[in-house]
Amino acid sequence: MGGVWRQVIPFGLPSLLATRLGYARLLQTSSLHGIAEEGTSGPETSSSLDQEGSDLETDGEQQLKEEILQASLPFVHTHGWSQDAIAQGAETLGYSSMVHGMFPGGGVDLVNYFYGQCNSKLDGSLKAAIKAAEENQELRKGTTTFIAAAVEERLRMNIEYHDSWHWALALHASPSNMPKALHNIGTLMDTIWYHAGDRSYDFNWYTKRGILAAVYKSTELCMLQDKSEDFQDTWAFMNRRLSDVHSVGKCVQEGASFLGGAGNLVKAGILTALNMAGMNSKSRF
């Protein structure tokens, strides 16, 4: 057995080399069209060029993945958020349906892509709204109104897939998908708050986004089973939650000022007591 192989390999190697060289020559000729010039250059010596080369590769791969996912979205109505939808989408672009192997997460990759796309759209729309408000003072909204409008706009983007959205949420709830899901909603909350004017740099950054995330999630769940005309019940629910947040915030503020007042009272009492005991003299030390 070994003897046969020892005879084949000397034939095999030159032909292998020949195909490699032939391929390189093919790339060389096609470089006349300006394609794949990188393939003919020697090994990169600088590490930043390596990084750049692999970045370009990753970019190309990302672009391909996005094209496939974009083409798969129309199939969500019939196949849901699943690998089947991705396979169908790939076929419309002319790729083999086996390409769904590029998406090891399966349906959740499609959900994440759609989520990211909606977030980007919202980002653009809010930026445009801010710009319009700058030019025309009348369009300027209060913070709560702005946030309510932004949440409503973002949730309306899900209406197109309303029938299968419970599937998407279930995929997001699975523990292996949770980090990406949290990243998605985190980015969304940051977008809304930033454009609503939040420029905080301390722990308020977290409390604000946490509160809005709770409102958004509960509204999203409410929307899942809402059957009213144009989802009026959902928007009413959202407004009630936002006014709850408002009243809690006011309560906290009032509580803090109450505590401040009470603290001053106690301090005054202690100072009086120290004065009466003759201990309140700064020259003691």
Partner 1 sequence: MYQCRPLALAGVRLYSTKAAHTKQAIDRIIRVDHAGELGADRIYAGQMAVLGKTSVGPVIQHMWDQEKEHKAKFEELVPKYRVRPTVLLPIWNVAGFVLGAGTALLGREAAMACTVAVESVITDHYNSQLRELINLGEEENKELIEVIKKFRDDEMDHHDTGLANDAEQAPAYTALSNVIKTGCKAAVWLSERI
Residues in the site for partner 1, rule: CB under 8 A? 48, 52, 55, 58-59, 62, 65-66, 109, 112-113, 115-117, 119-120, 123, 180, 183-184, 186-188, 190-191, 194, 198-203, 205-206
* Closer by beta carbon to partner 1, 53 or else 269: 53
Tell me the residue type at 244: D
Residue 276 CB, shortest distance to partner 1, in Å, is: 27
- Report which DSSP code applies to 111: H
Q: How far is the CB of 134 from partner 1 (least distance, A)?
A: 18
Closest separation in Å from C-beta 17 to partner 1: 33
Smallest separation (angstroms) from partner 1 to the CB of 180: 5
How far apart are the C-alpha atoms of 280 and 270, rounded to whole Å? 10
CA gap 171, 111 in Å, rounded: 8
The DSSP element (H or E) to which 50 belongs, if any, is: helix 47-72
Distance set, CA 142 to CA 197, 200, 264 (Å): 10, 18, 34
Q: What's the rounded Cα separation, in Å, for the pair 185 and 218?
A: 13
Alpha-carbon distance 104 to 100, whole Å? Answer: 8
Residues in the chain, total: 285
Least CB distance to partner 1 at residue 159 (A): 21
Q: How far is the CB of 132 from partner 1 (least distance, A)?
A: 21
Query: Considering beta carbons, is residue 115 or 237 the nearer one to partner 1?
Result: 115
Residue 226's nearest CA partner among 152, 283, 143 is: 152
* CA 70 – CA 113 distance, rounded (Å): 8
* CB nearer partner 1, residue 115 or residue 165: 115
* Spatial distance between the Cα atoms of 24 and 182, rounded to a whole number of angstroms: 45
